[in-house]
């Protein structure tokens, strides 16, 4: 969900309450502090929401560039060729 949100330019907060977070954050994920971050409490989340609101207004170009980067990296249009490739289908069948 985190990568999908970033790919759309939507801020996301990972809440790690009492160490229960599975911590599946891709290691090469850019944009921490800009459009996503991890918090341990509700008070941290509230502060982060305010920062993300400012980022959406003042750093919208950076967020759009990051979103485009992640859309290209993790998602594709479901064209006939991509479907054949993804499922290793024989296009001649």
- Per-residue pLDDT 10s for the chain (93 aa) are 888 999 999 999 988 866 655 556 666 778 999 999 989 889 999 999 999 999 999 999 999 999 999 898 888 888 888 888 888 888 776
**Cβ-proximal residues to 23 (8 Å cutoff; 6+ apart), any chain:** 16
**Cβ-proximal residues to 16 (8 Å cutoff; 6+ apart), any chain:** 23, 38, 39, 40
Q: CA-CA distance, 3 to 36, in Å (whole number)?
A: 10
Q: CA-CA distance, 33 to 88, in Å (whole number)?
A: 39
């Amino acid at each position: 969900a985190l990568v999908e949100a970033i790919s759309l330019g939507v801020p996301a907060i990972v809440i790690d309450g009492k160490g229960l977070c599975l911590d599946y954050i891709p290691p090469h994920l850019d944009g921490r502090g800009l459009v996503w971050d991890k918090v341990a409490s509700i008070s941290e989340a509230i502060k982060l929401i305010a920062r993300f609101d400012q980022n959406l207004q003042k750093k919208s170009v950076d967020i759009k560039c990051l979103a485009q980067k992640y859309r290209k990296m993790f998602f594709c249009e479901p064209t006939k060729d991509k479907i054949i490739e993804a499922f290793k289908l024989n296009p001649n069948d």
